[in-house]
Amino acid sequence: MNFEFADEAPKLMILLYGLVAFVVVVGGLLFLLDAVPTWFARRRDARLIAASASGGTVTIGRLKPREGVLGLFFLLPTVLLLLIGLVVPAVRTLVLSFMDSDGTNWVGLANYDWMFSQDEIVKVLTNTLLWVILVPLIATSIGLIYAVMVDKARFESIAKSLIFMPMAISFVGAGIIWKFVYAYRSEEQDQIGLLNQIVVFFGGEPRQWLLNAPLNTLLLIVVMVWIQAGFAMVVLSAAIKAIPADIVEAARLDGVNAWQMFWRVTLPSIRPALIVVVVTISIATLKVFDIVRTMTNGNYETGVVANEMYNQAFRAGETGQGSALAVILFVLVVPIVIYQIRNLRKQREV
C-alpha cells in the first residue's frame, strides 16, 4: 500500500495538535510544580524578613497551617483521581457482581455460584493459580541465577541488557512475537515458527503447540517469564552489588566456597529485594491479560481470570458474571498487596 503524506494531512495535523497539547499540559504542570512552592517560599521569606526587621520573634508553628494548605494542594488531584478511577469503580463492580447480566435485578450470590459450578471457569481459576505459582518462581530464579552469574563478569552490561530487553516490549507485542515462535505449518510446507523449525531440523514432526492443554498454558507462561526475568535480574543485581564489601571479604577469609557464599551470604543479604521482586511479579501475573488474549484468547483451555472477565463482561454481555470474576481477582491481589506494605513498613523500621 502506498502512503501519501498529503492524504494524511488532517491526521498529521491532529498529531501535531496532540503534541502541542501534551507540551502545554505537561509544561503547565511542571510550571505549577515549580512556581507554586517558590511563591510560598518567597512569601515566607518576605514575612520572615519583615518580622525580623520589625524586631519581633518568628514562631515556626505559625507557618504550619500554610504548609498544610500546600500539602492539600498536591494531595487533592491524587485523591480526586483515586476516587474517580479506583474507589468508585471498585465499589460499583462489587455491587454489579450481585446483579444480573444487565445490572438491573439483584441475584444474590448466583454469579459466584456460577463461577464455581462451570467447569470452564474452574479451569480458568486453576490456570490462574498455575500462572501465579510458576511465573514468579521461575522468573525470579532465572533473574537471580543470571544476576549472580554475570556479576563482575567481563561483558556484564551487555549480558544484562540482553536479558533486560524484553522488558521494553509490551505484553501484546511479546504475545505476537511468541505466537510466531509457536506457529504451525504442516510438514509439507516451510515452517514459519522457530520452535517447529527446530523440531523439524532434528527430524521431528511439527506440532500445534498452542492446541493441547496443559502444555499450551505452560508455553504461554514462558512468554511472561521471558518478560519478567529481566526485571528480576536488574533489581537483584543491584541488591547483590549493594552487599557491603567487608561482609563478602569476611566470608572469604572464613574460607567459604561459591555454594556457601550464595546460600549463606548473598541470599540472606538480598532477602528484602527478593521479596519485592516476587511480590511485584505475582501481582503482574495475577492481572495477566494481554498475553493470553493475543495468543489464544483463552481458547483451548488456556483462559485466565482477567481474560475471562473481559470476555464475560464486554463480549458476552454478562456484566454480573464479569464483575464477579473481577471481584475474585481483587480478592486474590489484596493479601499480596497487604503483605508487601507490611514488609515495606518493617524495612523502614529497621
Partner 1 sequence: MAVSTRPRQAFAIASVLGLALTATACGGSDSKNDKADSPECAAYKEYQGHSGKKVSIYASIRDLEADRLQNSWKEFADCTGIKINYEGSGEFEAQLQVRVDGGNAPDIAFIPQPGLLTRFAEAGKLKPVSAETKAMAEKNYSPDWLKYSTVGGQFYGAPLGSNVKSFVWYSPKTFKEKGYTVPTTWDELIALSDKIAATGQKPWCAGIESGDATGWPATDWIEDLMLRTQTPEVYDQWVTHGIPFNDPKVAEALDKAGTILKNEKYVNGGYGGVKSIATTSFQEGGLPITQGKCTLHRQASFYANQWPEGTKVAEDGDVFAFYFPGIDAAKGKPVLGGGEFTVAFADRPEVQAVQTYLASAEHANSRAKIGDWVSANKGLDLANVANPIDKLSVQILQDPKTVFRFDGSDLMPAAVGSGSFWKGMIEWINGKDTAATLTFIEGTWPK
Choose among 261, 297, 273: nearest CA to 347: 273
Between the alpha carbon of residue 74 and those of residues 22, 32, 78, the distances in Å are 21, 10, 7
Q: Would you say 109 or 250 has its CB closer to partner 1?
A: 109
**DSSP assignment, residue 102?**
T
Distance CA 166, CA 225 (A): 10
Interface positions, 200-239, toward partner 1 (CB under 8 A)? 208, 210-211
Distance CA 78, CA 246 (A): 44
Q: Which amino acid is at 176?
A: I
The answer to whether 262 contacts partner 1 (rule: CB under 8 A) is: no
Residue 28: partners with Cβ closer than 8 Å, 6 or more residues away: none
The answer to whether 102 contacts partner 1 (rule: CB under 8 A) is: yes
The residue assigned the cell 556479576 is 151
The answer to whether 189 contacts partner 1 (rule: CB under 8 A) is: yes
Binding mask 297-326 for partner 1 (x = CB under 8 A): x-xx---------xxx-xxxxx--------
Among the listed ranges 19-27, 48-56, 272-280, 338-346, the one in contact with partner 1 (CB under 8 A) is 19-27
Residue choice 36, 38, 79, 252 for contact with partner 1 (CB under 8 A): 38
Interface positions, 66-85, toward partner 1 (CB under 8 A)? none
The answer to whether 186 contacts partner 1 (rule: CB under 8 A) is: yes
Q: Is 107 exposed, middle or buried (0-12, 13-18, 19+ CB in 10 A)?
A: middle
Distance CA 158, CA 145 (A): 16
Angle (nearest 5°) at CA 181 between 176 and 186: 115
The answer to whether 17 contacts partner 1 (rule: CB under 8 A) is: yes
Q: Would you say 17 or 263 has its CB closer to partner 1?
A: 17
The answer to whether 35 contacts partner 1 (rule: CB under 8 A) is: yes
Residue choice 94, 173, 184, 248 for contact with partner 1 (CB under 8 A): 184
Grouping H, G, I as helix, E, B as strand and the rest as coil, residue 346 is: helix
Smallest gap from Cβ 68 to partner 1, in A, equals 20
Smallest gap from Cβ 13 to partner 1, in A, equals 8
Q: Which residues contribute to the site for partner 1 (CB under 8 A)?
A: 13, 17, 20-21, 23-24, 27-28, 30-31, 34-35, 37-38, 41, 101-102, 118, 120, 184-189, 208, 210-211, 293, 297, 299-300, 310-312, 314-318
